A and B are shown apart, each in its own frame.
Chain A
């Protein structure tokens, strides 16, 4: 597995996601946002979390139009894997690689806490190391993670089984308390039509080693590296 981790001005989780990928056995190359091509042989392009361009205009709006994103679009259009986490999910939505938009959290607060997610399907390149319906314990840290799409788009995403993760409680129940940012249908992450692009607000890369309190995020990177 050869992974390219994109770096924008204001990215700050690129080092953590690179570490998680290496732990799972991937080779990682950082790629600056002005590049026009991904390194030859790239299997996975990762858009990391952070605050690209200081969240100016809208979260992910300016990074979503960077030249490296044209390369990512070409990579995705030929079936290449793309993973966007947190600000990376916002960037993928702004770049048109995923539908919908991440709005200001409904409670108007920056939320930063451990978060349970329900794994909606395990027949994808991102989740094969998990069990169907498994509840994983990871983290969230964002102010704009409130997933919104128009009714037709939402119906299409649900109908095509493109929800990757939903916010839930420890037992897997989709409660209002568990969905603190107010996302439609408790959506924490979605796939593209062909399930080769995944965007998610929570941070699986935070929980890949016992030392920091959990390892439930490692499965995502192991799935990719498998």
Chain B
């Protein structure tokens, strides 16, 4: 089983990198670009067959290391 974990900054938390990227995109003259927020993606290969067990392990991974929940949210996608 494989998983993709997406970590993003919580709403309201300032994202200077996202702002810099947003400014760069807007400087190209691209129409319709609004607010840009930067996040992180982790692709994880799992040696677990059970989906429930995989979710439990990944949730622990997110809470303990992959996301700082003071400022970040995470989502787990299993495939």
Residues of A within 8 A of B (CB): 57-58, 61-62, 65, 94, 99-101, 103-108, 146, 148-150, 182
Residue in contact with A150 in the complex, picked from B17, B19, B70, CB distance below 8 Å: B70
Whether A149 lies near B70 (C-beta < 8 A) is: yes
How many whole Å from A93's CB to the nearest CB in chain B? 8
Chain B residue contacts of A103, Cβ below 8 A? 13-14, 16, 71
Residue in contact with B70 in the complex, picked from A101, A104, A182, CB distance below 8 Å: A101
> Looking at chain B's contact residues, is the secondary structure mostly helix, strand, loop, or mixed?
helix
Whether A57 lies near B66 (C-beta < 8 A) is: yes
Q: Which of A94, A104, A105 has the most CB of B within 10 A?
A: A104
Residue in contact with A58 in the complex, picked from B14, B17, B19, B68, CB distance below 8 Å: B68
For A64, give the chain B residue with the smallest CB separation: B65
Known interface pairs A103-B14, A106-B14, A108-B16; A65-B68 also in contact (CB < 8 Å): no
Whether A61 lies near B71 (C-beta < 8 A) is: no
Whether A108 lies near B17 (C-beta < 8 A) is: yes
Whether B65 lies near A101 (C-beta < 8 A) is: no
Whether A57 lies near B65 (C-beta < 8 A) is: yes
Chain A residue contacts of B70, Cβ below 8 A? 99-101, 148-150
14 contacts between A and B (CB under 8 A): A65-B64, A99-B70, A101-B68, A101-B70, A103-B14, A104-B17, A105-B16, A108-B16, A146-B14, A148-B13, A148-B14, A148-B70, A148-B71, A149-B70
Cα separation A99 to B14 with both chains bound (whole Å)? 18
Cα separation A99 to B68 with both chains bound (whole Å)? 12
How many whole Å from A66's CB to the nearest CB in chain B? 12
For A60, give the chain B residue with the smallest CB separation: B68
Chain A residue contacts of B14, Cβ below 8 A? 103, 106, 146, 148, 182
Q: In B1-58, which residues have CB < 8 Å from any A CB?
A: 13-14, 16-17, 19-20
Whether A108 lies near B68 (C-beta < 8 A) is: no
Whether B16 lies near A106 (C-beta < 8 A) is: yes
Chain B residue contacts of A58, Cβ below 8 A? 68
Cα separation A103 to B38 with both chains bound (whole Å)? 13
Cα separation A101 to B10 with both chains bound (whole Å)? 13
Cα separation A107 to B16 with both chains bound (whole Å)? 7
Cα separation A94 to B63 with both chains bound (whole Å)? 12
Cα separation A207 to B68 with both chains bound (whole Å)? 33
